[in-house]
Amino acid sequence: MMGPLATLFFLLLFSGTTVLGHGHHKPRKQCDSLVYQDVVRSEPTPLFTNTASFNGKLIYQYDSDSERAVPEPGWDNVENWTQTSQIQKQRGDFAVENLQEIMNVKQDTSGSHVLSGSYGCRLCQNDDTEGFWSYDYDGKPFIEFDKEKPAWIPKDPEAVIIKQKWEEDPGAVYRAKSYLEETCIEELKKYRDYKKAN
Ligand SMILES: *[C@@H]1O[C@H](CO)[C@@H](O)[C@H](O)[C@H]1NC(C)=O
């Protein structure tokens, strides 16, 4: 038989915060999340889309046809949307180039191909943070950022070319790391505070 202290220790060890009476179905950590999604497809014409979501709810959508980032209701003044549109236009041009390069390396020159990316961060109640950044090509893991190294980790043989390109400038991985650890968290707090006030 376990004594009360041993039982408490056991519960703390194996059940996270659920021991504090939150029940079994609550997540262990209460976190806010900011997740961006990129999709670039090659045909019929190259199209790039980017979205941002706070706690799973859409903030805005950008697409390269309109070249406009359009906020969802309730997020109207959280950004300068002209500026967001300009940034996403540049990112989109770069993403189209990357997709072309991957298709060339893979000799996938016909048919429609898709590069989709997901990046963002989480901020939890205990001030723990997480950051992530990865790309899939035609639905399969392609390359993933390891922010502790920091480095791009190929998940596919042809991703080595892209890794070399993205790491050509030795400062780039440090900028990606600081983007995830600092900029993204600042943006997340901005969206969180805006949401509370609006
Ligand atoms: C929004 O950004 C654009 C482009 O960077 C800039 O020209 C404009 O002055 C900004 N608008 C405001 C209200 O700050």
Helix (H, G, I), strand (E, B) or coil at 150: coil
Per-residue confidence (pLDDT) for residue 26, from 0 to 100: 52
Residue 3's pLDDT is what? 47
Which residue's CA is the closest to the ligand 1 atom numbered 10? 80
Tell me, in angstroms, the distance from the centre of ligand 1 to residue 51's CA. Answer: 20
Q: Measuring from each residue's beta carbon to the nearest atom of ligand 1, which residues come in under 6 Å? A: 80, 82-83, 86
What number of CA atoms fall less than 13 Å from residue 67's CA on the CB side? 6
Burial tier of 184 (Cβ tally within 10 Å: 0-12, 13-18, 19+): buried
> pTM for this structure?
0.84
Low-confidence residues of the chain, pLDDT below 50?
1-23
> How many A from CA of 69 to the centre of ligand 1?
14
Interacting residues of 148 by C-beta distance below 8 A, sequence separation 6+: none
Helices (H), 31-116: 81-106
Which residue lies with its CA nearest to atom 2 of ligand 1? 83
Q: For the domain that residue 184 is a member of, what is the CATH number? A: 3.30.500.10
Q: Which two tokens stand for residue 2?
A: 């376990």
Measured from the Cβ of residue 75, the count of other Cβ atoms closer than 10 Å reads 20
pLDDT at 110: 86
Q: Whose CA is nearest to atom 13 of ligand 1?
A: 80
Nearest CA to ligand 1 atom 12: 80
Distance in Å, CA 66 to ligand 1 centroid: 18
Which pLDDT value is given to residue 28?
A: 58
Tell me the residue range of the domain where 169 lies: 4-21+28-197
Which 8-state DSSP code applies to residue 61? E
Q: Tell me which residue has its CA closest to atom 11 in ligand 1.
A: 80
Say if CB 38 and CB 116 are below 8 A apart.
yes
For residue 193 the two structure tokens come to 């505070």
Q: Ligand 1, closest atom to CA 80?
A: 1
Looking at the structure of the chain, the number of domains it has is: 1
Ligand 1 center to 81 CA (angstroms):
8
Nearest to 33 by CA among 70, 58, 63, 62: 58
Strand partners, 114: 41
Cβ–Cβ under 8 Å, residues 123 and 129: yes
